[in-house]
Amino acid sequence: MSSPEVQEIIKQMGGAIGANSGLGGILKFDFGDSGSVLIDGKATPNTVSDGAGKNADCTITVSLDTFQKMVKGELDGTSAFMQGKLRVAGDMGLAMKLGPVLQKARG
């Protein structure tokens, strides 16, 4: 079970991305002990759920603090990656589609 902070992210992102995230794949945000968020961009409509125990085409490992800065627009994904604050496993092309998803999450 994810932390209350991660549950809130799931709720907010689910409402923000709507039926089509534009990902075309399954993306997982892994927040370590706090939990994870899975965006299923292959499902119709797209879904956002708890990612515990689920596989993804791309997994992004990031702290909650860094993720919040990215959502607020205070830090972009490329900078976070270059600074070692974000790790990507799997489909790097899918990770590159993260910007528009975070813009949708910003509202």
Condensed to tens digits (0 to 9), the pLDDT of residues 26-70 reads 999 999 999 999 999 999 999 999 999 999 999 999 999 999 999
Q: Which has more pLDDT, 98 or 89?
A: 89
**Taking CA 38 as the corner, what is the angle to CA 69 and CA 27, rounded to the nearest 5 degrees?**
80
Residue 3 — very low, low, confident or very high, per pLDDT cuts 50/70/90? very high
Tokens coding 44: 């119709």
Number of neighbouring beta carbons within 10 Å of residue 45: 10
Measured from the Cβ of residue 21, the count of other Cβ atoms closer than 10 Å reads 25
Give the chain's domain count: 1
CATH of the domain at 102: 3.30.1050.10
Q: Please tell me the least confidently modeled range out of 10-14, 68-72, 84-88, 97-101.
A: 97-101
Q: How many helices (H) and strands (E) does the chain have?
A: 5, 5
Residues 6+ apart with CB under 8 A from 24: 41, 42, 94, 97
Q: Which domain holds residue 13?
A: 4-106
What's the pLDDT score for residue 1? 67
Mean residue pLDDT across the chain: 92
pTM: 0.92
SS3 for 21?
A: coil
